[in-house]
Structure 1
């Protein structure tokens, strides 16, 4: 089987202590633009035409500042991503990762904000690595207006886990069950 063929580094998702202070920093200091929000818990920012090249996720306010990477309750990186050509490459990558015994965390799915397909897996140190494709492009003449998505299954996976190659994260399943 052939290895994954990334085209370029894509985006980074950081967990932050104060999402509003972070948005202010990244927009007013670094000059990024807001593309979309998920409630007041996640924001998608861009420097170019990709819907996002940086996303920020609010950690719970009562989180201790300890090294607990699997729970993402401290500031830091949640995942970084690489662009792949298309859905066929993503399907092939999922099969390759399974063949190699690499832990797949979530996907194949389709996010709401950005509309990109995603597949997330672990590197040897436990970092989340994502491959993605088909992200919304925002150009100056597109008339794109940021929106606030509800924090629900549609913002996480528009396919509603139909194409996941592993069971979905329990927290998302629990949130889906509570909405019924």
Structure 2
């Protein structure tokens, strides 16, 4: 099957990855992790919620943590659209495609649309938030990894081709993909804001949120975040890295927060602004795809992820068979 051409005039204008809403067991423990290790800025804390943003971000929040007694989950992942008119068009579009789409009252956001896409991913679209002072030049307030801004989400889905087609119809551009050829695609990287990705889909049991990611200023901030994680008792929650990605080329480190949600810090992006740029295919048989240097990830990095709230997880018909650390060490032995 040939790759889809881009849709240059989508039905409404999505601009970027915006925010993620997670449930947690202990707001105090979560605040310690996200504020001191990642370096996020606390915009507001209430009795049952915590709103955070990156040091470069002016909008009210890019991460919302809600206290819950239930098992930790992802309530929504957020996408921004250009205007509220785009939201109204989006509601009609999604309803016309059989998706649950309804207006929602959400604190510290303007008009907000809740959508469950055809693959079970629970999305939240908005056009406005209150504006807060940027902290980018308040250097004496910077903590941990100095997380600048939210960049992307990686989702697991058993219907990878369907997700690719659905989101390309919404104007997302395919920048990179993983597969031995154009028929057997295992992962896709989709963007709206001009860098390699806003949404990443990998084949797997889903729908589940594999991770969300923040950009940091420099490589040293990845190491500083790891050092502070170790000092504060989160050292064993440094799950993968520091390392180098093949797709995207970023330097990275992955953490698991106190509730097991996975978050990535990374730097070094490139721009994807021109339409004549062809998507880059990465062959999964090439070791440079999963670990350009160092060791591959542990099996749990590929298998474990955060479920969406009140959403059943469906098994994929095609089981991923990545090179894991366990396999690698067994072969070396």
Normalising by the smaller structure, the TM-score range is 0.7 to 0.9
What is aligned with 1:62?
Answer: none
- Secondary structure of 2:324's counterpart equals helix
Q: CA deviation at 1:92?
A: 1.2
What is aligned with 1:148?
Answer: 281
Aligned partner of 1:123 among 243, 246, 257: 257
Matched, 1:36 2:168: no
How many Å separate the matches in 2 of 1:144 and 1:158? 24
Q: Which has the higher contact order (CA 8 A, sep 6+)?
A: 1
- TM-score normalised by structure 1 residue count: 0.79
Deviations 1:55-84 (A, max 9, x none): 00111xxxxxxxxxxxxx331100001110
What is aligned with 1:158?
Answer: 292
Aligned partner of 1:58 among 193, 203, 212: 203
- Secondary structure of 2:281's counterpart equals strand
Moved more, 120-129 or 96-105: 96-105
How many residues are aligned here? 160
- Secondary structure of 2:231's counterpart equals helix
- Secondary structure of 1:126's counterpart equals coil
Bigger CA radius of gyration: 2
How many Å separate the matches in 1 of 2:253 and 2:233? 15
Deviations 1:93-138 (A, max 9, x none): 1111122222011111111111111110011211101101002221
Matched, 1:15 2:159: no
Whether the 8 Å contact between 2:144 and 2:224 is mirrored in structure 1 is no
- CA separation of 1:97/1:175 partners in 2, compared to 1, >3 Å: closer, same or farther? same
Whether the 8 Å contact between 1:107 and 1:120 is mirrored in structure 2 is yes
Structure 1 runs, 4 residues or longer, greater than 6 Å off: 177-180
How many Å separate the matches in 1 of 2:266 and 2:173? 21
How many Å separate the matches in 2 of 1:126 and 1:111? 22
- TM-score normalised by structure 2 residue count: 0.45
Q: Which blocks of at least 5 consecutive residues in structure 2 are unaligned?
A: 1-35, 37-142, 180-184, 300-322
Matched, 1:97 2:229: yes
- Secondary structure of 1:9's counterpart equals strand
What is aligned with 2:218?
Answer: 86
How many Å separate the matches in 1 of 2:330 and 2:284? 12
- CA separation of 1:100/1:76 partners in 2, compared to 1, >3 Å: closer, same or farther? same
